[in-house]
Structure 1
Amino acid sequence: MSTRREATEEQAIRQILDRIEEDDEISQRDLAAELGVALGMVNAYMKRCVRTGLIKIQQAPRRRYKYYLTPKGFSEKSRLTAQYLRDSFGALRRGLSSFDRLYADLADNDVKRIVLCGDDEMLEMGILGALATGVEVIAVYNPLGPSHEVRGVPAADPANPPEVDRWVLAVLKNGNEALDALREVVDDRLIAMPDVLRLSLLRGNRNQG
């Protein structure tokens, strides 16, 4: 749990340092809105950045403040950015490998046509992963909101569903909610998902229990 919290904090600090480099007069309120966190949380992160020597604050007119990165701040931003890219590429590799295994299993069971269900990066991984397989992505569908075309793949209409062999869940967030919503429009026996998502849902259910 602490490792996950530390990763989230590092991501927030990286975003703060990035934005301060781009706009030295950005307000903490604007930072909070962009990061999607409470204003008090941004204030705590900013105080930490000042305390650890990553940024300095200068009074500006109209009761505003200017923030600028110190040499240590630039160095830390570079380190956090490199770590973020490594983590992102690692997640991409794991996601594509998981889809490779799923598509191989589907092909072995004579599954050729699927709808990919989701609305984030994992959906795009599923589309990319299918390109070199015998499995064709006929349409995409968002169980939790409006569906739209993704990478040239049309959106499915559950009221007039396409003829496919499986509906494949592919989400990074709100997996249980997306699965429950998908089960309302599709027979459970037609739903599949990559193993990385299945394991994530199992871990989440155990933690809730």
Structure 2
Amino acid sequence: MASRREEQKAEIRLKVMRLISQNPEMSTRQVADEVGISNGSAYYVLTALVEKGFVKLGNFKKSSRKGQYAYLLTPKGIREKSILTHSFIERKRQEFVVLRAEIKALEAEAGLAVEATRAPKGGAQ
């Protein structure tokens, strides 16, 4: 089982990969703002994705600022994004099951479960 920190890192990688697959011309600062991390963290994540071969860095063809880059997912990156997405969905499904059971227990404890199942008598008045 992955630690909470590893899950957070995987979730950030997935968010970054989803963002750049939708808009490869995003700046590091834009990625940071969208994901909710620092600019330095976004740079670190993007650099790690490039080093692992999940993302390819390319210059804009039509940009007047030739120093800007486009982040493109490689086939290996597309596969990794798919794996991360599947893991994320499974983790959220498990959390949902636990949360639903907790809500049900709290409702029963508070006596809300009985009230929620009772139908109003006599209809609208």
Look up the match of 1:52. 52
Cα distance per residue 1:52-71 (max 9 Å; x no partner): 00000001231211111011
Q: Contact conserved, 1:32 with 1:39, CA < 8 A, in 2?
A: yes
Amino acid at match of 1:73: G
Percent identity among equivalent residues? 26
- In 1, the alpha carbon distance for the partners of 2:48 and 2:21 equals 17
TM-score (normalizing by structure 1): 0.51
- In 1, the alpha carbon distance for the partners of 2:39 and 2:27 equals 10
TM-score (normalizing by structure 2): 0.83
- In 2, the alpha carbon distance for the partners of 1:100 and 1:4 equals 25
Look up the match of 1:32. 32
- What's the offset of the Cα at 1:106? 1.9
- What's the offset of the Cα at 1:49? 0.2
Structure 1 unaligned runs (5+)?
113-132, 137-209
- What's the offset of the Cα at 1:134? 2.3
Amino acid at match of 1:17: M
Cα distance per residue 1:16-67 (max 9 Å; x no partner): 1101110110111001001111000000001100110000000123121111
**How many pairs align?**
111
| RMSD (Å), alpha carbons | 1.4
| Higher share in strand | 1
1:50-199 equivalence runs, <5 A:
50-60=50-60, 61=63, 62=65, 63-107=67-111, 112=112, 133-136=113-116
Runs ≥4 residues deviating over 3 A: none
